[in-house]
Structure 1
Amino acid sequence: MLVGVSRGVSHRPPGQIELFHRDMPYVDAAWETKVSLFDRPNDRLLRSIPNPGENQSADVTLRMHCPWDFSASSSTETWVFAATEWGIITSTVLQAIGVRSIAQTPVNSEVKIITPSAWSKAGLIRSGVEGDRIAVVPLGVDPHIYYPVSGDRRQLLRESFGWSNYFIFLNIGGQTDRKGIRPLLKAFAAVVDKYPDARLVLKGSELLYPSRDEIAEACRVVLNDAERARVLPRLIYTGSQLSFAQIAEIYQAADVYVSAYLAEGFNLPVLEAVACGLPVICTEGGPTDDFTRSDFALRIESKLTAVVIEGETLFMLAPEWEHLTDLMQRAIEQPGIAARARVADPGFVADNFSWGRSVDRLLEVMGGDKRSEEKSIFEPIIL
């Protein structure tokens, strides 16, 4: 999408915002949404944001679409949302932009970048973007959608899903290699050897990724015959497109959220799970370090690894599946982990990572608020 923001104009009260929005086509022109992600009031509210006029002027233009467009706008400031997963801007992304290097764009002279994590900022800097051209603005959640439910409500949800008698590990995402499906399956195979009542719920998105095929291939590659015999009857999968409220119910009914990712720009499902009061098990050293804490998160030991793929050096985190196995078993054996998370999670998210907080930070950055010049808690690690 392309967003124009008009602010601080003389005939408006100081700080008042006027917002215009124009949708940009998705990179795959054939894709279209089948389900409204929002409830009706929010859906109507979003649809009511006006399109910019033919000669509409704005103080700030924010672009959020692929491929990234770093050309200058008619606004005083131009910002582009950009995230790196693999520790660099990949050649595929550069080809889509139409350049061989990010230095061939106006990003270091005219346009600035908003990125969601310190890990992503480090990747942009490694690729040639000047650090002072980048602002970290984390993503957020809506605490009115993602929140812990009462014990009775949770039990009803579990019954409706057929989960009443099981310990549920949950993962939501594209189920591609970089999102950690292989170490997750390997660890789960070891867990169910000891705890056969455990189940692994995987929510993919068949509209965007061939998740079912990715899971099948991962099972074939990383599991032996005995492991597949244990794992396959205990996998629960859906690739349906669901609304935010439906996704929240899946979090609310699960026991633990697990993300053994290799490369992510932010990993929003981990934050959503935290908001719903779930303990999370996630890879150490990546973007989730920005928004997880020891009182509700167990971090998987990982090794930063440089890999060469088709002549290009990428950076990924290699989570130790043996340590992941230990953490998953600990989550089953120590119910106090879930109890602590249920208390610690929601307040932490509401205070620090709601969408309201994200918007406040965004406006500080784009509006030149002095608070945005203070040292951020999100600092990149340059590798």
Structure 2
Amino acid sequence: MKTLCIEGWRGVNHSIAMVNQNQILEMVKDPRFELFHRDAPFFMPHWDKGKLDSGFAPEERAIIDALPDPGDRVMDVRLRIASPVRLGDPAAARRNATFVVTEFGLSGKSFDPPEMPPAALTQGDDFVVTPTRWSKARLVDYGFEADKVLVVPHGYKTDTFFPMTPEQRQAARAALGMQPHETVFTNVGVATWNKGIDLLLLAFAELRLKGLPVRLILKDHQGLYGIGVERLFAELATRAPALNSPQVREGIAILSTSLNLPQLRSLYALSDAYVSPYRAEGFNLPVLEAMGCGTHVIVSGGGATDDFTPPELCHRLHSRPGTAADAPQPVGAFVVPDLDDLREAMLQVVEQRLTPAPRREAARQRLEQRFSWGTVTKQLLDLM
């Protein structure tokens, strides 16, 4: 039995912490490893486990919290999974795996200290793990050796994210005041430029102003990042004044509280489509979870989600590589999704022009087999 210490985040609902916690729940089932955990400093000092609940069931939270600190014991393997990336004590483990993910590309801010060279993470048998080919390409751009960067995808909780029955879906929609004839679009991402929420709002406003029965649900992330959706509305006001009209605003619901996993599943499953016209993502876990619930997704083509979005369950938006002229400030690699295609894809959902249900369900079942947390975590542990 090998000893494995995870140096990472747990207890909060940041995406990296969610990946770590889901992996822990699978790692404890593997008899090859004795697990330990050393908590890494949170990225923002105001993060509070009580206010940013990760949403796991009490029995799952108990398993996650029960992993002991290894103290001075030397580990066979150490998995670093936090940001910025820190080397830690070089004598703490015989071999190191480091999780590194990026949307646009890496910079000195991705590491502590900022001048850390990529080779510092890949000495000897040490290696780096990233969840998509898109992210790997950005790491290689930064200077990592390609054969030292291994792609292991994220997974989703197949025991949580699965379709509702028609009766359950109807009840969930009614609880949020959604009428049977209305088409509901959802996005739970933070309102940052790379997520493309501005594009979603513009497309939604056009459909709404045409009198179509459409609704939009967004998630506010003020507690986690200090970034609220209302700020985005203010920024878009000069570009699209109609966005602030009562007709449009009355069709938008903004959820401002933390959601547990069953609530998140309900949100995905009651929606007619999960819409993510992103410019850059390292993975985009909500897209995978939404498809697990049988929900149609609309995503940017050419980015990270190309790795796991089957055509039966998604529409990939026409996109082109971004340039400096497309960005509000110099960033890195990103795509520019086509706004007209986004509007048309949303209109197709309104008009119910989707892949027949049997093909969609077969694709969803294949997705479940390939991207369960159990399957992908085994892939990770096999590398250790």
TM-score (norm 2): 0.85
Q: Does 1:145 align with 2:154?
A: no
For 2:216 and 2:359, the matched residues in 1 are separated by 20
Q: Does 1:281 align with 2:298?
A: yes
Match of 2:189 in 1: 173
Match of 1:305 in 2: 322
Question: Per-residue deviation at 1:335?
Answer: 4.8
Q: Does 1:293 align with 2:296?
A: no
Q: Is the 8 A contact 2:5 2:35 kept in 1?
A: no
Q: Is the 8 A contact 2:205 2:243 kept in 1?
A: no
Using a 3 Å threshold, how does the CA distance of structure 1 residues 194 and 343 change in structure 2: closer, same or farther?
Answer: farther
Question: Per-residue deviation at 1:67?
Answer: 1.2
Q: Look up the SS of the partner of 1:173 in the other structure.
A: coil
Question: Per-residue deviation at 1:55?
Answer: 2.0
Q: Look up the SS of the partner of 1:362 in the other structure.
A: helix
Q: Is the 8 A contact 1:275 1:345 kept in 2?
A: no
Of stretches 357-366 and 300-309 in structure 1, the one that deviates more from structure 2 is 300-309
Match of 1:242 in 2: 259
Amino acid at match of 1:268: L
Match of 1:214 in 2: 231
Corresponding residue to 1:51 among 69, 80, 83:
69
Question: Per-residue deviation at 1:186?
Answer: 1.3
Using a 3 Å threshold, how does the CA distance of structure 1 residues 224 and 193 change in structure 2: closer, same or farther?
Answer: same
Q: Does 1:70 align with 2:87?
A: yes
Using a 3 Å threshold, how does the CA distance of structure 1 residues 183 and 115 change in structure 2: closer, same or farther?
Answer: same
Match of 1:3 in 2: 6
For 2:108 and 2:240, the matched residues in 1 are separated by 32
Matches within 5 A, 1:105-120: 106-110=120-124, 111-120=126-135
Of stretches 58-67 and 270-279 in structure 1, the one that deviates more from structure 2 is 58-67
1:285-304 CA-to-partner distances (Å, cap 9, x unmatched) read: 01100000111110111111
For 1:311 and 1:40, the matched residues in 2 are separated by 43
1:310-333 CA-to-partner distances (Å, cap 9, x unmatched) read: 985511111111110001001111
Match of 2:376 in 1: 358
Question: Per-residue deviation at 1:108?
Answer: 4.0
For 2:310 and 2:329, the matched residues in 1 are separated by 37
For 2:238 and 2:157, the matched residues in 1 are separated by 38
Question: Per-residue deviation at 1:218?
Answer: 4.3
Q: Is the 8 A contact 1:300 1:319 kept in 2?
A: yes
Q: Look up the SS of the partner of 2:311 in the other structure.
A: coil
Q: Is the 8 A contact 1:154 1:253 kept in 2?
A: yes
Q: Look up the SS of the partner of 2:346 in the other structure.
A: helix
Using a 3 Å threshold, how does the CA distance of structure 1 residues 333 and 31 change in structure 2: closer, same or farther?
Answer: same
Amino acid at match of 1:116: P
Using a 3 Å threshold, how does the CA distance of structure 1 residues 226 and 27 change in structure 2: closer, same or farther?
Answer: closer
For 1:345 and 1:228, the matched residues in 2 are separated by 40
Question: Per-residue deviation at 1:188?
Answer: 1.0
Q: How many residues align?
A: 352
Match of 1:330 in 2: 348
Question: Per-residue deviation at 1:164?
Answer: 2.5
Match of 1:377 in 2: none
Q: Look up the SS of the partner of 1:263 in the other structure.
A: coil
Using a 3 Å threshold, how does the CA distance of structure 1 residues 342 and 228 change in structure 2: closer, same or farther?
Answer: farther
TM-score (norm 1): 0.85
Match of 1:135 in 2: 150
For 1:18 and 1:39, the matched residues in 2 are separated by 23
Question: Per-residue deviation at 1:229?
Answer: 4.7
Task: Report percent identity of matched pairs.
Answer: 30
Using a 3 Å threshold, how does the CA distance of structure 1 residues 220 and 74 change in structure 2: closer, same or farther?
Answer: same
Question: Per-residue deviation at 1:238?
Answer: 0.9
For 2:91 and 2:368, the matched residues in 1 are separated by 34
Of stretches 63-72 and 175-184 in structure 1, the one that deviates more from structure 2 is 63-72
Q: Is the 8 A contact 1:273 1:280 kept in 2?
A: yes
Question: Per-residue deviation at 1:226?
Answer: 6.9
Question: Per-residue deviation at 1:236?
Answer: 0.8
Q: Is the 8 A contact 2:237 2:243 kept in 1?
A: no
For 1:307 and 1:41, the matched residues in 2 are separated by 48
For 1:338 and 1:201, the matched residues in 2 are separated by 25
Question: Per-residue deviation at 1:168?
Answer: 0.2
For 2:243 and 2:303, the matched residues in 1 are separated by 33
Match of 1:8 in 2: none
| Structure 2 residues not aligned, in runs of 5+ | 8-29
Match of 2:336 in 1: 318
Q: Is the 8 A contact 1:255 1:338 kept in 2?
A: no
Using a 3 Å threshold, how does the CA distance of structure 1 residues 207 and 76 change in structure 2: closer, same or farther?
Answer: same
C-alpha root-mean-square deviation of aligned residues, in Å? 2.4
Match of 2:37 in 1: 21
For 2:359 and 2:238, the matched residues in 1 are separated by 34
1:227-286 CA-to-partner distances (Å, cap 9, x unmatched) read: 745422211111211111211111111111100001110000000000000010000001
Q: Is the 8 A contact 1:259 1:282 kept in 2?
A: yes
